């Protein structure tokens, strides 16, 4: 008599799912995160992580801008005669 355990093990410990983590490893990580932060803060953590990744991608795509225009003199610098 054969059980479904070998197929379940094959799916749970597959390394080709995401970043080398299988379903079993991802479930363990999810349980640890739920224990540490609680179910109320997990959506906030996901939102913050997503916002950070979005801002990082936006910063990587935008061209580097260096401002080389001369600054405007303040009233005090004009009175003192500083360039």
pLDDT at position 26, please? 86
Who contacts 10 (Cβ-Cβ below 8 Å, separation ≥6)?
none
Q: Do residues 13 and 24 lie in contact, with contact meaning Cβ atoms separated by under 8 Å?
A: yes
Residue 76 placed within a domain: no
Q: Which domain holds residue 54?
A: 14-61
3 state SS of 43: helix
pLDDT one-digit tens code per residue, 17-68 = 557 778 888 899 989 999 998 989 989 998 999 999 999 999 888 877 776 7
- Choice between 5 and 56, residue whose per-residue pLDDT is larger: 56
Residue 74 placed within a domain: no
Residue 8 has pLDDT above 70, yes or no: no
Residue 77 placed within a domain: no
Residue 69 placed within a domain: no
What is the reported pTM?
0.45
Q: How confident is the model at residue 16 (pLDDT cuts 50, 70, 90)?
A: low
Residue 2 placed within a domain: no
Residue 79 placed within a domain: no
């Amino acid at each position: 008599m054969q059980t479904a355990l070998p197929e379940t093990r094959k799916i749970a410990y597959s390394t080709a799912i995401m970043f080398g983590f299988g379903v079993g490893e991802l479930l363990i990580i999810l349980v640890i995160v739920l224990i540490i932060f609680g179910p109320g803060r997990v959506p906030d953590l996901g939102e913050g992580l997503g916002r950070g990744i979005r801002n990082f991608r936006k910063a990587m795509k935008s061209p580097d801008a260096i401002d080389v225009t001369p600054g405007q003199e303040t009233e005090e610098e004009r009175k003192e005669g500083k360039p």
